């Protein structure tokens, strides 16, 4: 890996807005990597008041070929309102920052291919950007994307190409409307079977509604149609599983007490943080498999 830079999301946007181009002619071409990787860390792994660090994705970006450049996106990486930014605003900042980096590289280096990788909330953001590009509304064309690697994606769909043991259900935030479009065949997701962030049971409507509310926090009026479709998907599933009585049965005191125990068990299991050692087959962990896959794109 030629260079690993940690870039603030705001700084990336400013660079593009100002039209900044580093170098010209052959000097620019000589400085262009064969592959440019934009990595987005997970919740609490970065932040405006923290020293930027790769976190879980260090195992993915460490040791890549010398012709690869990597940039990490720094963003709020918060999940709760009392932390400053609600989840929706935090994820939007990450997506905007990644989009800025991708756009700047595409404009500067016409032959450089691009890969996106994210973990947890970072996978949420990276996946949204990939879906944007893959469905033709992004700032770069889909063919510029060599691969998209998502670890513990809260918006994992059962139809996504999954590496490792198949996880049940889907992401707590619900599948992306329209999927990944023209980059679907180059997108890989890894989800530990007990990781509730990316493996929420279809019939767990309380968690699914909570995930939807997190996704739609700091809602963009331009995306109302998307929120309606996502909410409609949950409601349709609810109706096919018994309707409001089924939801009511998940909100009783006994059900809430059991949910609290299940969540405590989940957090103690550290299923969301095992990816550095999580076996996906062939003697590879989630992070080593992702690194080898991305290295093969260079």
pLDDT digits (tens, 9 = 90+) for 144-161: 999 999 999 999 999 999
Q: Can you give the pLDDT at residue 25?
A: 45
The secondary structure of residue 185, as a DSSP letter, is G
pLDDT higher than threshold 90 for residue 188: yes
Answer whether residue 257 shows pLDDT above 80: yes
Contact of 104 with 119, CB cutoff 8 Å:
no
The third-level CATH classification (topology) of the domain covering 3-200+271-295 is Rossmann fold (3.40.50)
Per-residue pLDDT, 83? 59
Q: Determine the average pLDDT of the residues in 206-233.
A: 77
Average pLDDT over residues 35-54: 83
| CA atoms of 107 and 56, how far apart (whole Å) | 29
pLDDT beyond 60 at 5: no
pLDDT confidence tier of residue 29, bands split at 50, 70 and 90: low
CB 152 within 8 A of CB 197: yes
Q: What is the pLDDT of residue 23?
A: 38
Q: What is the enclosing helix (H) or strand (E) of 23?
A: none
Cβ contact 278:289 at 8 Å? no
**pLDDT in the model for residue 34:** 97
Q: What one-character-per-residue DSSP string does 36-71 give?
A: EEEEE--TTTS-TTS----GGGHHHHTT--TTEEEE
Q: Residue 232, exposed/middle/buried by CB under 10 A (0-12, 13-18, 19+)?
A: exposed
Q: Give the model's pLDDT for residue 180.
A: 97
Q: Where do the domains of the chain lie?
A: 3-200+271-295
pLDDT tens profile 78-114: 876 555 678 888 999 999 999 999 999 999 999 999 9
**Is residue 117's pLDDT more than 70?**
yes
In the predicted structure, residue 22 carries a pLDDT above the cut 90: no
With beta carbons less than 8 A apart as the criterion, state whether 199 and 192 touch: yes
Enter the tokens of residue 221. 């009026």
Which pLDDT does position 249 carry in this prediction?
86
Look at residue 282 and give its three-state secondary structure. Answer: coil
Phi, psi (rounded to 5 degrees) for 134 = -65, -25
Beta-carbon contacts of 247 under 8 Å, excluding residues fewer than 6 positions away, are 205, 206, 238
What's the confidence (pLDDT) of residue 240?
A: 85
| Percent of the chain at pLDDT exceeding 70 | 86
- The answer to whether 92 and 218 have CB atoms below 8 angstroms apart is yes
> Which of 156-160, 214-218, 228-232, 242-246 is the most confident on average?
156-160
Mean pLDDT of 165-183: 93
* pLDDT confidence band for 52 (50 / 70 / 90): low
Query: Is there a contact between 128 and 155 (Cβ–Cβ < 8 Å)?
Result: yes
CA atoms within 13 A on the CB side of 230: 25
């Amino acid at each position: 890996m030629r260079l690993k830079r940690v870039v603030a999301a705001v700084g990336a946007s400013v660079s593009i807005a100002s039209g900044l181009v580093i170098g010209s002619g052959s000097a620019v071409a000589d400085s262009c990597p064969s592959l440019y990787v934009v990595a987005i860390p997970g919740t609490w792994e970065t932040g405006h008041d923290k020293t930027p660090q790769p976190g879980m994705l260090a195992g993915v970006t460490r040791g890549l070929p010398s012709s690869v450049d990597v940039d990490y996106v720094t963003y709020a990486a918060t999940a709760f309102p009392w932390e400053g930014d609600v989840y929706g605003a935090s994820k939007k900042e990450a997506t905007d920052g990644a989009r800025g980096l991708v756009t700047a590289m595409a404009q500067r280096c016409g032959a450089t291919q691009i890969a996106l990788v994210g973990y947890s909330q970072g996978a949420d953001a990276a996946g949204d950007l990939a879906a944007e590009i893959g469905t033709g509304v992004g700032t770069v064309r889909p063919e510029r994307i060599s691969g998209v690697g998502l670890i513990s994606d809260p918006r994992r769909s059962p139809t996504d190409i999954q590496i490792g043991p198949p996880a049940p259900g889907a992401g707590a935030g619900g599948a992306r409307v329209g999927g990944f479009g023209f980059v679907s065949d180059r997108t890989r997701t890894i989800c530990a079977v007990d990781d509730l962030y990316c493996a929420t049971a279809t019939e767990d409507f309380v968690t699914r509604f909570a995930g939807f509310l997190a996704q739609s926090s700091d809602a963009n009026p331009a995306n109302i149609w998307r929120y309606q479709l996502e909410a409609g998907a949950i409601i349709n599933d609810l109706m096919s599983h018994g309707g409001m009585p089924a939801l009511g049965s998940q909100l009783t005191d006994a059900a809430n007490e059991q949910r609290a125990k299940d969540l405590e068990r989940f957090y103690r299991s550290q299923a969301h943080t095992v990816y550095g050692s999580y076996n996906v087959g062939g003697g590879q962990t989630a992070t080593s498999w992702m690194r080898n896959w991305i290295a093969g794109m260079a």
